[in-house]
Structure 1
């Protein structure tokens, strides 16, 4: 069975709002490496519209730095699914899940392939609450912003979720990467 992985940037005070702090070259390298073991990305509408067409355009035009261009190429090469009841315009080749989220993700997990990555906040919170996320990759940035969106602001957990730390690294910038497995 394929694993569903969730990777996200966080501040030390738990903010995951991308408008409150900036990613770095190191951040893009981290997520490029993470995506090497992924062949499907699932996003909700908001995150999909933030990522597409921006990163496919960077991949096509090679308009970023060497590191962001590599991230864009890696991202663009991965199949995508958007979960939305309202979105009608999406990149060619993108599939859509409109209903039965848990059932559809379970089917995807049972298909052959590499890992499935999810991104954003609302959709991952929902999938975590449903018990469908297997691995967590938190990249904690050395900044306190004091405000902004947190995980599970939209969807609460019925009970605590125990995780097992399997890897941690301090990056040169002071970011800390944490890799957890669901117990």
Structure 2
């Protein structure tokens, strides 16, 4: 069975709002490496609209640094699924699904292939509550922002889940990579 993996950037005080802190080349390298073992990305509408068409455009134009362009190309090449009841259309190698999130993700997990990556906050929170997320990759940035959306703040779910630390490392930038497995 395929694994569902969740990767996200966080500030040291738990903020997951990407506009509150910067990334950098090392961050893009980290997520490019993570995506090498992925052949499907699942998003909700909001995250999809943040990622597409921005990253496919960077991939086509090669308009950023070498590291950022490589991330864009890796991202663009991976098939995507968007769960939305309000989105009218999707672009490129993306499929729109309007039906039951849990049932559909369980079906996708049972298909052959590499890992399935999920992103954003709301959709991953729902999948975590359903017990469908297998691994967590938190990239904690060495900054305190003091404001902004916190991971799982407004989910309304009982998300208590015990995790097992599989790996941790400190990047040159001071970011700390934490890789957890669902117990």
TM range (shorter): over 0.9
Q: Which residue of 2 aligns with 1:131?
A: 131
Moved over 4 A (4+): none
Q: Structure 1 unaligned runs (5+)? A: none
Could you give the per-residue CA deviations for residues 106-127 of structure 1, whole angstroms, max 9, x where no partner exists? 0000000000000001111111
Q: Which residue of 2 aligns with 1:94?
A: 94
Partner of 1:30, secondary structure, is: helix
Partner of 2:36, secondary structure, is: helix
Q: Which 10-residue stretch deviates more, 82-91 or 28-37?
A: 82-91
CA distance in 2, matches of 1:157, 1:100: 17
TM-score in terms of structure 2 length: 0.98
Q: Which residue of 2 aligns with 1:65?
A: 65
CA distance in 2, matches of 1:146, 1:43: 27
Q: Which residue of 2 aligns with 1:162?
A: 162
Partner of 1:9, secondary structure, is: strand
Q: Is the 8 A contact 1:129 1:156 kept in 2?
A: no
Kindly state the Cα deviation for residue 18 of structure 1 after the two structures are TM-superposed: 0.6
Kindly state the Cα deviation for residue 70 of structure 1 after the two structures are TM-superposed: 0.2
Q: Which residue of 2 aligns with 1:42?
A: 42
TM-score in terms of structure 1 length: 0.98
Partner of 1:172, secondary structure, is: coil
CA distance in 2, matches of 1:159, 1:118: 17
Q: Is the 8 A contact 1:83 1:97 kept in 2?
A: yes
Q: Is the 8 A contact 2:89 2:96 kept in 1?
A: no
CA distance in 1, matches of 2:122, 2:153: 8
1:6 matched to 2:2? The reply is no
Q: Which residue of 2 aligns with 1:25?
A: 25
Q: Which 10-residue stretch deviates more, 149-158 or 32-41?
A: 149-158
Partner of 2:165, secondary structure, is: strand
Q: Structure 2 unaligned runs (5+)? A: none
Q: Which residue of 2 aligns with 1:106?
A: 106
Partner of 1:91, secondary structure, is: coil
Q: Is the 8 A contact 1:84 1:98 kept in 2?
A: yes
